């Protein structure tokens, strides 16, 4: 169960670490390939603070990344699918200390291979795994 605000008045809202958000974002960004790329991304994020001791944050998104027609290197426009997910957990074993871990995954699903002349130059498919351990000291 997510913790609701104690009052409807924003000035009386409490700081709660439990939340759920779902949304969609359209953005245009500079690109190393061509001039720009359009990103249409749906996302969801869930965070929950269990018993004042354990914080869990789950985050996931799926995006269509649209590249327009390229002049150099010459290539028709294409669309890649980008998938990203992460999980963060932190256990606060004392009032001032916490131990945390983060795991992240990213994948660019693409069948596009850019060419230089007649030979393949760069495949745009990739996967990325990351993991972190940390220690937090609250001042």
CA distance 104 to 86: 4
The number of beta carbons lying within 10 Å of the beta carbon of residue 114 is 15
pTM, rounded to two decimals? 0.76
Tell me the pLDDT tens digit for each residue of 88-123. 999 998 888 999 999 999 999 998 887 766 666 778
Give the model's pLDDT for residue 41. Answer: 97
Task: Tell me the pLDDT tens digit for each residue of 35-86.
Answer: 889 999 999 999 998 888 899 999 999 999 999 987 766 778 889 999 999 9
Each domain of the chain, given as residue ranges in start order, spans 18-137
Quick one: pLDDT at residue 113? 82
Structure tokens at 31: 């690109």
Q: What is the pLDDT of residues 15-41, one digit of tens each?
A: 566 889 999 999 999 887 778 899 999
So what's the pLDDT on residue 13?
A: 47
- Which tokens belong to 43? 């996302």
| Burial (CB count within 10 angstroms: exposed 0-12, middle 13-18, buried 19+), residue 63 | buried
In angstroms, the CA 5 to CA 9 distance is 9
**Is 54:87 a contact under the CB 8 Å cutoff?**
no
In DSSP terms, 57 is beta-bridged to: 47, 88
User: Could you tell me where the beta strands, DSSP code E, fall in 68-118?
Assistant: 78-91, 97-109, 113-116
């Amino acid at each position: 169960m997510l913790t609701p605000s104690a009052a409807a008045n924003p000035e009386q809202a409490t700081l709660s670490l439990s939340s759920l958000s779902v949304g969609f974002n359209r953005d245009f960004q500079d690109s190393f390939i061509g001039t720009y790329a359009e990103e249409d991304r749906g996302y969801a994020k869930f965070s929950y603070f269990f018993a004042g001791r354990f914080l869990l944050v789950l985050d996931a998104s799926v995006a269509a990344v649209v590249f327009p027609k390229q002049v150099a290197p010459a290539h028709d426009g294409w669309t890649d699918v980008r998938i990203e997910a992460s999980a963060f957990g932190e256990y606060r074993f004392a009032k001032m200390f916490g131990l945390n871990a983060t795991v992240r995954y990213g994948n660019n699903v693409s069948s596009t291979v850019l060419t230089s002349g007649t030979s393949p130059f760069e495949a745009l498919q990739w996967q990325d795994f990351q993991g972190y351990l940390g220690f937090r000291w609250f001042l």
